[in-house]
C-alpha cells in the first residue's frame, strides 16, 4: 500500500543549526500518527515541510507516493492544516469563511455549496450561522478552523497542537470531533504537548529528539518498553533513603523535574507501597498504571536515570 506520507532521511539546516538530522516517518492511509517531542526538536519544521511552507535540504518526502518537490501547487491541495492559532476572518460569518477558503482551493460553486452545508452540519455550526467569527468563543473558532482545513477534502490532515489554546471543555469537544474523523478514515498527522490527547487519539506515536525519531509504535508498544507495570510518584524529605530502599526492592528509580518516580515491576496497592517504604520519611505517594507520559520520559530521555 502506498503511504499517505513517506519521509526518508530528511535533513534541514537553518544556517549552522541542524534542525532535522535524518528524520524519517511513514504515515499509512487512515492512520492517526502523533509526533511528540520537546520544544525545539523539529516538529514544526516537519509540518512546514509537509505543508510545502518550507523546503528541505537532503532526503526524500513523498505524498501519496509522489515526490513532494514535484507536486508544487497540487501538494497544498492534498494537505489540510489546522494550527493552534485560528487563521480565520473575524468579520465574516462561519459559512462565509468556509466559502472563501473553498474558492482558494478551486472548488466549483456546486462543490462549495455542498461542502459548506456538510461541514456546517457536521461541526454543529448551524446555530452560529448568523454570528460573526470574532464573536465566537475560542473553542467554537477552533472548531470552525478545523472545518476550514477539511473544506477541500485533503488526503492528509495536519493538526499542529489544535487544542493548545482552548479550555478543557472545548478540548474534549475537539477530541470527539477528531475521533470521528479518525473513525471515518481520515489520515492525520498530529503534534501535541498533551500526552493524554495523543494517547487517546493516535493509532501510532513517533517520539522526537534532536531532529530525529528516537522511538515509534502504537501506544501499547511504547508502554511495553517501559521497565515497569506501574508508577509510584513519591515525595520525601530524604530522597537518598527512598532511592536506596527502592533499589533494594528491585524497583527502578527515575527523577523528573525534582519528582521521584518509582517504576514497579508489577501492580502494587498504595498500602503495599507505603509499607515497603516505611521509615524513609515519605510525605506523599500516589500510584497509577504506566501511561504515554511515562513512555515519553523514558524514551525521549527527559528524566534522570538513577537505577
Q: What is the pLDDT of residues 116-169, one digit of tens each?
A: 999 999 999 999 999 999 999 999 999 999 999 999 999 999 999 999 888 999
Cα 263 to Cα 261: distance, rounded to the nearest angstrom: 6
| Residue 190: CB atoms within 10 Å | 25
Which pLDDT value is given to residue 307?
A: 41
In tens, the pLDDT along 214-238 reads 999 999 999 999 999 999 999 988 8
Q: What residues are paired with 285 via a beta bridge?
A: 234
DSSP one-letter string for 103-145? HHTT--HHHHHHHHHHHHHHTT-GGGTTS-GGGS-HHHHHHHH
Provide the domain count of the chain: 2
Average pLDDT over residues 48-77: 83
Cα 75 to Cα 63: distance, rounded to the nearest angstrom: 8
CATH code, domain carrying 64: 3.40.50.300
3-class secondary structure, 97: helix
In-domain check, residue 181: yes
* Whether 134 and 207 share a structural domain: yes
Domain residue limits at 266 = 230-305
Cell numbers 499542529 correspond to 160
β-pairing, 66-67 vs 79-83, is unpaired
* Whether 181 and 256 share a structural domain: no
The residue ranking higher by pLDDT, 37 or 1, is: 37
In-domain check, residue 222: no
In-domain check, residue 213: yes
Q: What percent of the chain has pLDDT over 70?
A: 96
* Whether 96 and 119 share a structural domain: yes
What's the pTM?
0.90
Q: End of a domain among 164, 188, 217?
A: 217
Q: End of a domain among 217, 244, 266?
A: 217
Q: Is the pLDDT of residue 102 over 60?
A: yes
* Whether 147 and 33 share a structural domain: yes
CATH code, domain carrying 299: 3.30.70
In tens, the pLDDT along 264-277 reads 998 899 999 999 99
256 — phi, psi (to 5°)?
-140, 125
Cell numbers 471543555 correspond to 169
* Whether 242 and 202 share a structural domain: no
* Whether 91 and 31 share a structural domain: yes
* Whether 261 and 203 share a structural domain: no
In tens, the pLDDT along 164-213 reads 888 999 999 999 999 999 999 999 999 998 899 999 999 999 999 999 99
What is the maximal distance between C-alpha atoms in the chain? 75
Amino acid at each position: 500500500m502506498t503511504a499517505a506520507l513517506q519521509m526518508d532521511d530528511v535533513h534541514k539546516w537553518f544556517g549552522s543549526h541542524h534542525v532535522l538530522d535524518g528524520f524519517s516517518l511513514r504515515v499509512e492511509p487512515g492512520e492517526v500518527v502523533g509526533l511528540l517531542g520537546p520544544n525545539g526538536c523539529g516538529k514544526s519544521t516537519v509540518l512546514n515541510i509537509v505543508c510545502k511552507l518550507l523546503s528541505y535540504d537532503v532526503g526524500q518526502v513523498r505524498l501519496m507516493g509522489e515526490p513532494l518537490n514535484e507536486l508544487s501547487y497540487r501538494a497544498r491541495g492534498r494537505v489540510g492544516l489546522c494550527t493552534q492559532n485560528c487563521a480565520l476572518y473575524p468579520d465574516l460569518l462561519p459559512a462565509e469563511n468556509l466559502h472563501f477558503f473553498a474558492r482558494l482551493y478551486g472548488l466549483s460553486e456546486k462543490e462549495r455549496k455542498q461542502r459548506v452545508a456538510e461541514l456546517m452540519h457536521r461541526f454543529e455550526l448551524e446555530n452560529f450561522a448568523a454570528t460573526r467569527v470574532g464573536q465566537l468563543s475560542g473553542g467554537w473558532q477552533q472548531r470552525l478552523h478545523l472545518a476550514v482545513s477539511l473544506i477541500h477534502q485533503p488526503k492528509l490532515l495536519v493538526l499542529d497542537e489544535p487544542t493548545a489554546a482552548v479550555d478543557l471543555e472545548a478540548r474534549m469537544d475537539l477530541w470527539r470531533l477528531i475521533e470521528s474523523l479518525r473513525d471515518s478514515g481520515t489520515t492525520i498527522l498530529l503534534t501535541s504537548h498533551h500526552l493524554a490527547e495523543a494517547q487517546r487519539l493516535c493509532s501510532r506515536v513517533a517520539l522526537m529528539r534532536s531532529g530525529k525519531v528516537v522511538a515509534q509504535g502504537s501506544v501499547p508498544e511504547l508502554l511495553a518498553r517501559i521497565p515497569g507495570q506501574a508508577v509510584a510518584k513519591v515525595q520525601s524529605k530524604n530522597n537518598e533513603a527512598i532511592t536506596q530502599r527502592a533499589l533494594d526492592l528491585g524497583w527502578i528509580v527515575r527523577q523528573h523535574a525534582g519528582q521521584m518516580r518509582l517504576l514497579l515491576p508489577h501492580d502494587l496497592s498504595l498500602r503495599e507501597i507505603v509499607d515497603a517504604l516505611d521509615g524513609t520519611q515519605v510525605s506523599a505517594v500516589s500510584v497509577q498504571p504506566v501511561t504515554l507520559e511515562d513512555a515519553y520520559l523514558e524514551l525521549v530521555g527527559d528524566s534522570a536515570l538513577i537505577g
